[in-house]
Structure 1
Amino acid sequence: MASRICDSVLVTGSNRGIGLELVRQLVDSPTPPVQIFAGCRDPNGQRSQVRNHANTIQKSLTYTTSPTSIAEASKLVETKLKGKGLNLIINNAGVNIPGSLAETGKQEMVDVYTTNVVGPMLIAKDFHPLLCKAAAQFPHQTSMSCSRSAIINVSTLLSSITTCPENFSVSPMYPYRVSKAALNMLTRCLAEDLKKDGILVMSLHPGWVQTEMGGPKAPLTTAESISGMMKVITSLTEKDTGTLLDWEGKNIPW
Protein backbone atom coordinates (compact mmCIF):
# COMPACT_ATOMS: atom_id res chain seq x y z
CA MET A 1 0.00 0.00 0.00
CA ALA A 2 1.27 3.49 -0.89
CA SER A 3 2.31 5.61 2.04
CA ARG A 4 0.16 8.60 2.98
CA ILE A 5 1.57 11.93 1.80
CA CYS A 6 0.65 13.44 5.18
CA ASP A 7 -2.08 13.31 7.81
CA SER A 8 -3.31 16.87 7.31
CA VAL A 9 -3.02 19.46 4.56
CA LEU A 10 -4.32 22.96 3.79
CA VAL A 11 -4.64 23.94 0.11
CA THR A 12 -5.42 27.59 -0.65
CA GLY A 13 -7.12 28.73 -3.84
CA SER A 14 -8.93 25.43 -4.26
CA ASN A 15 -12.11 26.64 -5.94
CA ARG A 16 -10.84 25.86 -9.46
CA GLY A 17 -7.84 25.06 -11.62
CA ILE A 18 -4.67 23.81 -9.97
CA GLY A 19 -5.99 24.10 -6.42
CA LEU A 20 -9.14 22.13 -7.19
CA GLU A 21 -7.15 19.39 -8.93
CA LEU A 22 -4.78 19.23 -5.96
CA VAL A 23 -7.72 18.61 -3.63
CA ARG A 24 -9.23 16.07 -6.04
CA GLN A 25 -6.03 14.05 -6.36
CA LEU A 26 -5.38 14.20 -2.62
CA VAL A 27 -8.88 12.87 -1.95
CA ASP A 28 -8.53 10.16 -4.61
CA SER A 29 -5.03 9.03 -3.60
CA PRO A 30 -4.69 5.41 -2.35
CA THR A 31 -4.15 6.66 1.20
CA PRO A 32 -5.60 10.19 1.36
CA PRO A 33 -4.79 12.59 4.19
CA VAL A 34 -7.07 12.26 7.18
CA GLN A 35 -7.84 15.99 7.07
CA ILE A 36 -7.90 18.08 3.88
CA PHE A 37 -8.64 21.76 4.45
CA ALA A 38 -9.70 23.48 1.23
CA GLY A 39 -9.26 27.24 1.24
CA CYS A 40 -11.85 28.70 -1.12
CA ARG A 41 -13.02 32.28 -1.59
CA ASP A 42 -16.57 31.27 -2.56
CA PRO A 43 -17.13 27.58 -1.71
CA ASN A 44 -20.82 27.75 -2.62
CA GLY A 45 -20.39 29.73 -5.83
CA GLN A 46 -21.21 28.42 -9.29
CA ARG A 47 -17.54 28.27 -10.28
CA SER A 48 -16.49 26.21 -7.29
CA GLN A 49 -16.54 22.42 -7.29
CA VAL A 50 -14.57 21.88 -4.09
CA ARG A 51 -17.80 21.43 -2.13
CA ASN A 52 -18.29 18.14 -4.02
CA HIS A 53 -15.43 16.55 -2.08
CA ALA A 54 -16.86 15.24 1.18
CA ASN A 55 -13.45 14.84 2.79
CA THR A 56 -12.65 18.53 2.68
CA ILE A 57 -13.38 21.37 5.04
CA GLN A 58 -15.28 23.51 2.59
CA LYS A 59 -14.68 26.94 4.03
CA SER A 60 -11.53 27.01 6.10
CA LEU A 61 -10.02 30.07 4.43
CA THR A 62 -11.93 32.55 2.30
CA TYR A 63 -9.56 35.49 1.75
CA THR A 64 -5.82 34.85 1.78
CA THR A 65 -5.08 38.58 2.00
CA SER A 66 -7.29 39.20 5.03
CA PRO A 67 -5.53 38.88 8.41
CA THR A 68 -8.94 38.33 10.06
CA SER A 69 -9.90 35.55 7.66
CA ILE A 70 -6.53 33.84 8.08
CA ALA A 71 -6.67 34.07 11.88
CA GLU A 72 -10.19 32.64 11.92
CA ALA A 73 -9.14 29.83 9.58
CA SER A 74 -6.17 28.89 11.76
CA LYS A 75 -8.46 28.64 14.79
CA LEU A 76 -10.94 26.51 12.85
CA VAL A 77 -8.21 24.19 11.59
CA GLU A 78 -6.75 23.92 15.10
CA THR A 79 -10.16 22.88 16.42
CA LYS A 80 -10.64 20.28 13.69
CA LEU A 81 -7.17 18.82 14.28
CA LYS A 82 -8.07 18.09 17.93
CA GLY A 83 -4.66 18.61 19.46
CA LYS A 84 -2.59 17.51 16.49
CA GLY A 85 -0.47 19.71 14.26
CA LEU A 86 -0.91 20.64 10.60
CA ASN A 87 1.56 18.76 8.41
CA LEU A 88 1.41 20.60 5.09
CA ILE A 89 0.37 23.96 3.65
CA ILE A 90 0.21 24.40 -0.13
CA ASN A 91 0.01 28.13 -0.84
CA ASN A 92 -1.64 27.92 -4.25
CA ALA A 93 -3.90 31.02 -4.22
CA GLY A 94 -2.58 33.59 -6.66
CA VAL A 95 -3.57 36.15 -9.28
CA ASN A 96 -2.15 37.41 -12.53
CA ILE A 97 -2.75 40.73 -14.24
CA PRO A 98 -0.91 40.46 -17.56
CA GLY A 99 0.70 43.75 -18.38
CA SER A 100 3.53 45.42 -20.20
CA LEU A 101 5.34 48.34 -18.60
CA ALA A 102 2.97 50.77 -20.33
CA GLU A 103 -0.09 48.88 -19.06
CA THR A 104 1.10 48.47 -15.47
CA GLY A 105 0.40 51.03 -12.78
CA LYS A 106 0.76 51.22 -9.02
CA GLN A 107 -2.54 49.53 -8.24
CA GLU A 108 -1.87 46.53 -10.48
CA MET A 109 1.51 45.97 -8.82
CA VAL A 110 0.13 46.37 -5.30
CA ASP A 111 -2.90 44.13 -5.86
CA VAL A 112 -0.91 41.24 -7.31
CA TYR A 113 1.87 41.58 -4.74
CA THR A 114 -0.65 41.57 -1.89
CA THR A 115 -2.21 38.29 -3.02
CA ASN A 116 0.91 36.50 -4.25
CA VAL A 117 3.35 37.51 -1.50
CA VAL A 118 1.65 39.06 1.53
CA GLY A 119 -1.02 36.34 1.62
CA PRO A 120 1.43 33.41 1.83
CA MET A 121 3.50 35.30 4.41
CA LEU A 122 0.46 35.87 6.65
CA ILE A 123 -0.59 32.23 6.30
CA ALA A 124 2.90 31.00 7.24
CA LYS A 125 2.87 33.34 10.25
CA ASP A 126 -0.57 32.38 11.60
CA PHE A 127 -0.25 28.65 10.94
CA HIS A 128 3.34 28.46 12.23
CA PRO A 129 2.32 27.13 15.67
CA LEU A 130 0.35 24.28 14.07
CA LEU A 131 3.27 23.44 11.78
CA CYS A 132 5.61 23.41 14.78
CA LYS A 133 3.22 21.12 16.65
CA ALA A 134 3.20 18.72 13.68
CA ALA A 135 7.01 18.66 13.52
CA ALA A 136 7.21 18.08 17.26
CA GLN A 137 5.07 14.96 16.91
CA PHE A 138 8.14 13.28 15.39
CA PRO A 139 10.60 13.77 18.29
CA HIS A 140 13.05 11.15 17.00
CA GLN A 141 12.90 12.27 13.36
CA THR A 142 15.43 14.91 12.34
CA SER A 143 14.83 14.78 8.59
CA MET A 144 12.37 17.13 6.90
CA SER A 145 9.45 15.99 4.76
CA CYS A 146 5.87 16.87 3.85
CA SER A 147 4.62 14.03 6.01
CA ARG A 148 6.22 15.78 8.98
CA SER A 149 5.83 19.55 8.46
CA ALA A 150 6.15 21.69 5.35
CA ILE A 151 5.11 24.77 3.37
CA ILE A 152 4.98 24.63 -0.42
CA ASN A 153 4.59 27.93 -2.26
CA VAL A 154 3.26 27.57 -5.80
CA SER A 155 5.58 29.69 -7.94
CA THR A 156 6.39 29.83 -11.66
CA LEU A 157 9.20 29.60 -14.19
CA LEU A 158 8.47 33.26 -14.94
CA SER A 159 9.75 34.13 -11.46
CA SER A 160 13.28 33.17 -12.42
CA ILE A 161 15.55 36.19 -12.81
CA THR A 162 18.15 34.01 -14.54
CA THR A 163 15.83 32.80 -17.29
CA CYS A 164 13.94 36.09 -17.77
CA PRO A 165 15.79 37.01 -21.01
CA GLU A 166 14.67 33.71 -22.55
CA ASN A 167 10.93 34.25 -22.13
CA PHE A 168 10.28 37.92 -21.33
CA SER A 169 9.26 38.92 -24.86
CA VAL A 170 6.59 36.21 -24.91
CA SER A 171 5.18 36.98 -21.44
CA PRO A 172 6.11 40.43 -20.05
CA MET A 173 3.63 40.24 -17.13
CA TYR A 174 5.36 42.74 -14.84
CA PRO A 175 3.10 42.34 -11.76
CA TYR A 176 3.07 38.53 -11.94
CA ARG A 177 6.80 38.08 -12.56
CA VAL A 178 7.88 40.54 -9.87
CA SER A 179 5.46 39.19 -7.25
CA LYS A 180 6.49 35.58 -7.83
CA ALA A 181 10.17 36.54 -7.63
CA ALA A 182 9.35 38.11 -4.27
CA LEU A 183 7.51 34.91 -3.29
CA ASN A 184 10.72 33.01 -4.00
CA MET A 185 12.60 35.25 -1.58
CA LEU A 186 9.86 34.66 0.99
CA THR A 187 10.44 30.94 0.46
CA ARG A 188 14.17 31.30 1.06
CA CYS A 189 13.63 33.43 4.17
CA LEU A 190 11.08 31.01 5.63
CA ALA A 191 13.30 28.03 4.79
CA GLU A 192 16.15 29.54 6.81
CA ASP A 193 13.93 30.80 9.62
CA LEU A 194 11.89 27.62 10.11
CA LYS A 195 14.72 25.15 9.68
CA LYS A 196 15.20 25.13 13.44
CA ASP A 197 11.57 24.01 13.82
CA GLY A 198 11.97 21.09 11.43
CA ILE A 199 9.69 22.71 8.82
CA LEU A 200 10.54 22.23 5.13
CA VAL A 201 9.80 25.23 2.87
CA MET A 202 10.15 25.28 -0.92
CA SER A 203 8.66 26.72 -4.12
CA LEU A 204 7.07 24.58 -6.82
CA HIS A 205 6.34 25.45 -10.45
CA PRO A 206 3.29 23.54 -11.77
CA GLY A 207 4.19 24.13 -15.42
CA TRP A 208 2.19 25.96 -18.05
CA VAL A 209 -1.26 24.52 -17.35
CA GLN A 210 -4.64 24.69 -19.08
CA THR A 211 -6.44 26.79 -16.50
CA GLU A 212 -8.25 30.11 -16.56
CA MET A 213 -4.88 31.76 -15.90
CA GLY A 214 -2.80 29.54 -18.19
CA GLY A 215 -5.20 29.58 -21.13
CA PRO A 216 -6.27 26.85 -23.57
CA LYS A 217 -2.95 26.77 -25.47
CA ALA A 218 -0.99 25.54 -22.44
CA PRO A 219 0.65 22.13 -23.03
CA LEU A 220 -0.32 20.58 -19.66
CA THR A 221 -3.70 19.58 -18.31
CA THR A 222 -4.35 20.14 -14.61
CA ALA A 223 -4.38 16.36 -14.10
CA GLU A 224 -0.93 15.97 -15.70
CA SER A 225 0.53 18.88 -13.76
CA ILE A 226 -0.79 17.81 -10.37
CA SER A 227 0.14 14.16 -10.93
CA GLY A 228 3.74 15.30 -11.39
CA MET A 229 3.57 17.72 -8.46
CA MET A 230 2.26 14.98 -6.16
CA LYS A 231 5.27 12.80 -7.00
CA VAL A 232 7.62 15.71 -6.26
CA ILE A 233 5.85 16.56 -2.99
CA THR A 234 6.07 13.00 -1.68
CA SER A 235 9.79 12.81 -2.46
CA LEU A 236 10.89 16.10 -0.83
CA THR A 237 13.60 15.93 1.84
CA GLU A 238 15.72 18.44 3.75
CA LYS A 239 17.98 18.86 0.70
CA ASP A 240 15.03 20.47 -1.11
CA THR A 241 14.22 23.11 1.49
CA GLY A 242 14.72 26.60 0.10
CA THR A 243 14.67 25.45 -3.55
CA LEU A 244 12.53 26.13 -6.62
CA LEU A 245 11.57 22.95 -8.50
CA ASP A 246 9.19 22.25 -11.36
CA TRP A 247 6.41 19.63 -11.54
CA GLU A 248 8.96 17.07 -12.78
CA GLY A 249 11.36 17.72 -9.90
CA LYS A 250 13.84 19.69 -12.02
CA ASN A 251 15.64 22.61 -10.41
CA ILE A 252 14.85 26.11 -11.69
CA PRO A 253 17.55 28.76 -11.18
CA TRP A 254 16.64 31.80 -9.15
Structure 2
Amino acid sequence: MATVLVIGASRGLGLEFVRQYRAAGDRVIATARDDEGLARLRALGAEPLRVDVADPASVSGLSWQLDGVEIDVALYVAGVIDRGNATTPPTQQAFDHLMHTNVLGLMQVLPQVMPMVEAAGGVFGALSSRMAQIGPVSGSGAWLYRVSKAALNMAVSSARFDYPKATLVALDPGWVQTDMGGGAAPLSAEASVSGLRAVLASLTPDDNGQLIHHDGRRASSW
Protein backbone atom coordinates (compact mmCIF):
# COMPACT_ATOMS: atom_id res chain seq x y z
CA MET A 1 0.00 0.00 0.00
CA ALA A 2 1.40 3.35 -1.06
CA THR A 3 0.91 6.65 0.75
CA VAL A 4 -0.39 9.32 -1.61
CA LEU A 5 -0.74 13.06 -0.98
CA VAL A 6 -3.09 15.07 -3.23
CA ILE A 7 -2.97 18.86 -2.80
CA GLY A 8 -6.04 20.57 -4.20
CA ALA A 9 -8.42 17.62 -4.18
CA SER A 10 -11.90 18.99 -3.54
CA ARG A 11 -13.13 18.55 -7.13
CA GLY A 12 -12.13 17.78 -10.70
CA LEU A 13 -8.85 15.99 -11.31
CA GLY A 14 -7.81 16.19 -7.67
CA LEU A 15 -10.93 14.39 -6.51
CA GLU A 16 -10.52 11.82 -9.29
CA PHE A 17 -6.95 11.13 -8.16
CA VAL A 18 -8.29 10.48 -4.67
CA ARG A 19 -11.01 8.20 -6.00
CA GLN A 20 -8.66 6.10 -8.11
CA TYR A 21 -5.87 5.77 -5.56
CA ARG A 22 -8.38 4.81 -2.86
CA ALA A 23 -9.92 2.24 -5.21
CA ALA A 24 -6.43 0.77 -5.61
CA GLY A 25 -6.19 0.36 -1.84
CA ASP A 26 -3.72 3.15 -1.17
CA ARG A 27 -3.62 5.46 1.82
CA VAL A 28 -4.59 8.91 0.58
CA ILE A 29 -4.05 12.21 2.38
CA ALA A 30 -5.79 15.04 0.55
CA THR A 31 -6.33 18.76 0.98
CA ALA A 32 -9.32 21.03 0.46
CA ARG A 33 -10.01 24.59 1.52
CA ASP A 34 -13.64 24.36 2.68
CA ASP A 35 -16.01 22.10 4.60
CA GLU A 36 -17.76 20.79 1.47
CA GLY A 37 -14.49 19.70 -0.08
CA LEU A 38 -13.30 18.08 3.12
CA ALA A 39 -16.58 16.16 3.36
CA ARG A 40 -16.18 14.82 -0.20
CA LEU A 41 -12.68 13.60 0.62
CA ARG A 42 -13.80 11.99 3.83
CA ALA A 43 -16.61 10.17 1.99
CA LEU A 44 -14.01 8.57 -0.31
CA GLY A 45 -11.97 7.33 2.64
CA ALA A 46 -9.19 9.90 2.36
CA GLU A 47 -7.57 11.64 5.30
CA PRO A 48 -8.61 15.28 4.77
CA LEU A 49 -6.49 18.31 5.61
CA ARG A 50 -7.67 21.91 5.40
CA VAL A 51 -5.25 23.90 3.23
CA ASP A 52 -5.86 26.93 1.00
CA VAL A 53 -2.91 27.01 -1.40
CA ALA A 54 -3.60 30.66 -2.28
CA ASP A 55 -3.04 31.65 1.36
CA PRO A 56 0.63 31.47 2.41
CA ALA A 57 -0.31 31.28 6.09
CA SER A 58 -2.49 28.23 5.42
CA VAL A 59 0.17 26.48 3.32
CA SER A 60 2.86 27.13 5.93
CA GLY A 61 1.25 24.63 8.30
CA LEU A 62 1.23 21.71 5.86
CA SER A 63 4.41 20.02 7.09
CA TRP A 64 3.28 19.80 10.71
CA GLN A 65 -0.12 18.50 9.60
CA LEU A 66 1.67 15.71 7.74
CA ASP A 67 3.90 15.05 10.77
CA GLY A 68 6.82 13.52 8.89
CA VAL A 69 4.89 10.77 7.08
CA GLU A 70 6.81 9.13 4.21
CA ILE A 71 5.05 9.91 0.91
CA ASP A 72 5.32 7.63 -2.11
CA VAL A 73 3.36 9.86 -4.48
CA ALA A 74 2.68 13.58 -3.98
CA LEU A 75 0.57 15.64 -6.38
CA TYR A 76 0.04 19.38 -6.67
CA VAL A 77 -3.26 19.61 -8.52
CA ALA A 78 -4.55 22.98 -7.32
CA GLY A 79 -4.97 25.48 -10.12
CA VAL A 80 -7.16 28.24 -11.53
CA ILE A 81 -7.53 29.77 -14.99
CA ASP A 82 -8.12 33.20 -16.52
CA ARG A 83 -9.17 33.17 -20.19
CA GLY A 84 -8.14 36.70 -21.18
CA ASN A 85 -5.68 37.25 -24.03
CA ALA A 86 -2.91 39.70 -24.80
CA THR A 87 -5.29 42.39 -26.09
CA THR A 88 -6.22 43.26 -22.49
CA PRO A 89 -3.85 43.69 -19.54
CA PRO A 90 -4.62 41.44 -16.58
CA THR A 91 -5.79 43.11 -13.41
CA GLN A 92 -3.55 42.92 -10.39
CA GLN A 93 -6.27 40.91 -8.63
CA ALA A 94 -6.36 38.33 -11.42
CA PHE A 95 -2.56 38.16 -11.61
CA ASP A 96 -2.18 37.72 -7.86
CA HIS A 97 -4.89 35.07 -7.69
CA LEU A 98 -3.44 32.92 -10.47
CA MET A 99 0.18 33.29 -9.46
CA HIS A 100 -0.55 32.60 -5.79
CA THR A 101 -2.56 29.48 -6.59
CA ASN A 102 -0.63 28.07 -9.54
CA VAL A 103 2.94 29.04 -8.63
CA LEU A 104 3.48 30.40 -5.11
CA GLY A 105 1.45 27.58 -3.57
CA LEU A 106 3.65 24.99 -5.26
CA MET A 107 6.85 26.81 -4.31
CA GLN A 108 5.75 26.86 -0.67
CA VAL A 109 4.66 23.23 -0.72
CA LEU A 110 7.83 21.77 -2.24
CA PRO A 111 10.27 22.49 0.65
CA GLN A 112 7.75 21.11 3.14
CA VAL A 113 6.79 17.95 1.27
CA MET A 114 9.85 16.92 -0.74
CA PRO A 115 11.86 15.66 2.29
CA MET A 116 8.97 13.28 3.00
CA VAL A 117 8.91 12.17 -0.65
CA GLU A 118 12.68 11.66 -0.56
CA ALA A 119 12.32 9.52 2.57
CA ALA A 120 10.15 7.14 0.56
CA GLY A 121 12.21 7.41 -2.64
CA GLY A 122 8.98 8.65 -4.15
CA VAL A 123 7.68 10.93 -6.89
CA PHE A 124 6.15 14.41 -6.91
CA GLY A 125 3.98 15.49 -9.83
CA ALA A 126 2.83 19.08 -10.35
CA LEU A 127 -0.03 19.55 -12.80
CA SER A 128 1.01 21.81 -15.64
CA SER A 129 -0.38 22.14 -19.17
CA ARG A 130 0.67 21.84 -22.77
CA MET A 131 -0.52 25.46 -22.99
CA ALA A 132 2.62 26.40 -21.04
CA GLN A 133 5.00 25.14 -23.73
CA ILE A 134 6.75 28.12 -25.33
CA GLY A 135 7.97 26.41 -28.50
CA PRO A 136 4.61 25.25 -29.95
CA VAL A 137 2.46 28.12 -28.60
CA SER A 138 -0.37 28.90 -31.05
CA GLY A 139 -1.87 32.09 -29.64
CA SER A 140 -2.36 34.26 -26.57
CA GLY A 141 -5.62 32.78 -25.29
CA ALA A 142 -5.55 32.37 -21.50
CA TRP A 143 -2.15 34.06 -21.53
CA LEU A 144 -2.02 34.62 -17.78
CA TYR A 145 -2.71 30.92 -17.22
CA ARG A 146 0.00 30.05 -19.76
CA VAL A 147 2.50 32.28 -17.97
CA SER A 148 1.66 30.79 -14.57
CA LYS A 149 2.11 27.22 -15.79
CA ALA A 150 5.38 28.09 -17.53
CA ALA A 151 6.55 29.44 -14.17
CA LEU A 152 5.42 26.20 -12.51
CA ASN A 153 7.49 24.24 -15.02
CA MET A 154 10.56 26.26 -14.10
CA ALA A 155 9.92 25.72 -10.38
CA VAL A 156 9.78 21.95 -10.98
CA SER A 157 12.86 21.85 -13.19
CA SER A 158 14.87 23.95 -10.71
CA ALA A 159 13.79 22.22 -7.49
CA ARG A 160 14.78 18.73 -8.66
CA PHE A 161 18.46 19.48 -7.99
CA ASP A 162 17.85 19.90 -4.26
CA TYR A 163 16.03 16.58 -3.80
CA PRO A 164 18.12 13.91 -5.54
CA LYS A 165 16.48 10.98 -3.75
CA ALA A 166 13.09 11.70 -5.33
CA THR A 167 11.70 12.25 -8.82
CA LEU A 168 10.01 15.57 -9.55
CA VAL A 169 8.02 16.13 -12.76
CA ALA A 170 5.47 18.43 -14.37
CA LEU A 171 2.40 16.67 -15.74
CA ASP A 172 0.11 17.64 -18.61
CA PRO A 173 -3.36 16.16 -17.98
CA GLY A 174 -4.62 17.06 -21.46
CA TRP A 175 -7.85 18.88 -22.24
CA VAL A 176 -10.21 17.40 -19.69
CA GLN A 177 -13.96 17.53 -19.00
CA THR A 178 -13.80 19.48 -15.74
CA ASP A 179 -15.12 22.85 -14.60
CA MET A 180 -11.92 24.34 -16.01
CA GLY A 181 -11.80 22.35 -19.25
CA GLY A 182 -15.51 22.46 -20.09
CA GLY A 183 -17.87 19.90 -21.56
CA ALA A 184 -16.36 20.03 -25.06
CA ALA A 185 -13.05 18.58 -23.87
CA PRO A 186 -12.18 15.20 -25.43
CA LEU A 187 -10.88 13.55 -22.24
CA SER A 188 -12.83 12.41 -19.21
CA ALA A 189 -11.32 13.05 -15.80
CA GLU A 190 -11.22 9.28 -15.28
CA ALA A 191 -9.17 8.70 -18.45
CA SER A 192 -6.78 11.58 -17.78
CA VAL A 193 -6.06 10.50 -14.22
CA SER A 194 -5.69 6.86 -15.22
CA GLY A 195 -3.06 7.89 -17.75
CA LEU A 196 -1.26 10.15 -15.28
CA ARG A 197 -1.17 7.36 -12.67
CA ALA A 198 0.44 5.09 -15.25
CA VAL A 199 2.98 7.82 -16.02
CA LEU A 200 3.82 8.26 -12.34
CA ALA A 201 4.30 4.51 -11.94
CA SER A 202 6.67 4.34 -14.93
CA LEU A 203 9.01 7.26 -14.18
CA THR A 204 12.75 6.76 -14.51
CA PRO A 205 15.64 8.97 -13.32
CA ASP A 206 15.86 10.40 -16.86
CA ASP A 207 12.39 11.91 -16.41
CA ASN A 208 13.40 14.04 -13.45
CA GLY A 209 12.46 17.68 -14.03
CA GLN A 210 10.62 16.98 -17.29
CA LEU A 211 7.13 17.75 -18.61
CA ILE A 212 5.23 14.56 -19.38
CA HIS A 213 1.86 14.25 -21.08
CA HIS A 214 -1.01 12.12 -19.75
CA ASP A 215 -0.51 9.54 -22.52
CA GLY A 216 3.14 9.03 -21.60
CA ARG A 217 4.68 11.24 -24.28
CA ARG A 218 7.70 13.18 -23.08
CA ALA A 219 7.55 16.83 -24.11
CA SER A 220 10.10 17.58 -26.83
CA SER A 221 10.32 21.24 -25.83
CA TRP A 222 9.21 23.57 -23.07
* Same fold, TM-score > 0.5, yes or no: yes
Q: Which residue of 2 aligns with 1:52?
A: 43
Q: Which residue of 1 aligns with 2:133?
A: 160
Q: Which residue of 1 aligns with 2:210?
A: 243
RMSD after superposition? 1.8
Say if 2:15 is the partner of 1:20: yes
Pick aligned residue for 1:125 from 111, 117, 121: 111
Say if 2:66 is the partner of 1:77: yes
Contact 2:8/2:32 (8 A) holds in 1: yes
Say if 2:77 is the partner of 1:111: no
* Structure 1: runs of 5+ lacking an equivalent: 135-147
Q: Within 5 Å, give how 1:1-254 maps onto structure 2.
A: 7-29=2-24, 32-33=25-26, 35-42=27-34, 44-45=35-36, 49-54=40-45, 56-58=46-48, 60-78=49-67, 81=69, 85-101=70-86, 102=88, 104-134=90-120, 148-165=121-138, 168=139, 172-195=141-164, 198-252=165-219, 253-254=221-222
Larger Rg: 1
Letter in 2 for 1:28: A
Letter in 2 for 1:190: A
Q: Distance in 1 between matches of 2:17 and 2:114?
A: 22
Letter in 1 for 2:185: A
Q: 1:88 to 1:61 in 2, by over 3 A?
A: farther
List per-residue Cα deviations over 1:22-59 (Å, max 9, x = no partner). 00000112xx22x31111111x32796323112x112x
Contact 1:12/1:61 (8 A) holds in 2: no
Q: Distance in 2 between matches of 1:180 and 1:48?
A: 29
List per-residue Cα deviations over 1:132-179 (Å, max 9, x = no partner). 333xxxxxxxxxxxxx222111000000001113xx26xx11210000
Q: Distance in 1 between matches of 2:144 and 2:203?
A: 29
Q: 1:221 to 1:95 in 2, by over 3 A?
A: same
1:128 offset after TM fit, Å?
3.1
Contact 1:201/1:241 (8 A) holds in 2: yes
Percent identity over the alignment is 32
Number of residue pairs the alignment of both structures matches: 220
Q: Distance in 2 between matches of 1:199 and 1:124?
A: 12
Q: Distance in 2 between matches of 1:239 and 1:202?
A: 11
1:109 offset after TM fit, Å?
1.8
Q: Distance in 1 between matches of 2:168 and 2:29?
A: 19
The secondary structure found in structure 2 opposite 1:228 is helix
* Structure 2: runs of 5+ lacking an equivalent: none
Q: 1:222 to 1:48 in 2, by over 3 A?
A: farther
Q: Distance in 1 between matches of 2:39 and 2:149?
A: 25
List per-residue Cα deviations over 1:176-205 (Å, max 9, x = no partner). 00000000000100112222xx11100000
Q: Distance in 2 between matches of 1:48 and 1:207?
A: 28
Q: Distance in 2 between matches of 1:230 and 1:128?
A: 19
